[in-house]
Amino acid sequence: MSTFSEDDIRRAAEVREWLVKEVTNKKEELDKLRDTLLIVDSLLKKTSFITASHLESSASNLKDRSAPEYQSLHKEEIVQTKPSIDSTTKSTDTDYGQDDNQGVEIRSLKRAKDNLLISNAEYTSTYVRISLVNDINLNINTPPFKSFFLNRILEGMKSKDKEKIQKGEIDESEIIDYKVDNDENGRINSVTISNYRERERLNEIFNTATWVFTRMLEKGI
């Protein structure tokens, strides 16, 4: 029967502690990589980029485009409760704070690595309001809120809507719009987006907002 010295036991304990730390670090790294992949995919979609793997499988997937699994590009984009809307839903409601009488639903936005609650976002078929929880203190000037979420994502959606207006595909009253509510110190209270119209946009707004707020929390500004 083999025996272990105190030094062996001590070294084994140190190795175990190191392994636990490595597992934790790798998990956090994996979460960050998944978040980064999600946002990169979002950017590539906006530039009509097609990945090599998508090209290889496009022929076999063509016949399955009506399947539910094809409708969502990312597993993370499947919301817990989906609004009953379609891409042709129209709304002339421009009052950000008004309930459109179609029922408000809630989507919890959480940081991936520890499930920290960032927002209990509320949405209907015509608007999304992402209100930060009381414990979350984020400034409007902290990157990448303006540079990415507002200027790249939301303004990008607005630019596409303007093109559709010029082509006569939608009315001016249907263009996507947004409003940021913040205090005099720049602390963000909420972001409200109206006329998102499409479920794909709703998913992108949720996913991008979660990623952006997570990055802002890491900066701690």
Look at residue 2 in the predicted model and tell me its pLDDT.
57
- Predicted confidence band of residue 185 (pLDDT cuts 50, 70, 90): very high
Tens of pLDDT, residues 77-129: 433 333 333 333 333 333 334 444 468 999 999 999 899 999 999 999 999 99
Omega cis (within 30) before 83 = no
Q: Between 86 and 58, whose confidence is greater? A: 58
CA neighbours closer than 13 Å in the CB half-sphere of residue 91: 26
- Judged against a pLDDT cut of 50, whether residue 138 lies above it is answered with yes
Look at residue 46 in the predicted model and tell me its pLDDT.
62
- Predicted confidence band of residue 45 (pLDDT cuts 50, 70, 90): low
- Judged against a pLDDT cut of 80, whether residue 208 lies above it is answered with yes
- Amino acid of residue 138: L
Task: State pTM to two decimals.
Answer: 0.58
Q: How far apart are CA 24 and CA 178, in angstroms?
A: 38
Query: Which residue bears the tokens 């670090």?
Result: 25
Query: Which residue bears the tokens 């890491």?
Result: 218
Query: Which residue bears the tokens 């078929």?
Result: 125
* CA of residue 11 relative to chain centroid, distance: 44
- Write phi, then psi, for 11 (nearest 5 degrees): -65, -40
**Secondary structure, 3-state, the chain:** CCCCCHHHHHHHHHHHHHHHHHHHHHHHHHHHHHHHHHHHHHHHHHCCCCCHHHHHHHHHHHHHCCCHHHHCCCHHHCCCCCCCCCCCCCCCCCCCCCCCCCCCEEEEEECCCCCCEEEEEEECCCEEEEEECCCCCCECCCCCHHHHHHHHHHHHHHHHHHHHHHCCCCCHHHCCEEEEEECCCCEEEEEEEECCCCHHHHHHHHHHHHHHHHHHHHHCC
Q: What is the mean pLDDT of residues 186-200?
A: 96
- Judged against a pLDDT cut of 90, whether residue 53 lies above it is answered with no
Look at residue 47 in the predicted model and tell me its pLDDT.
57
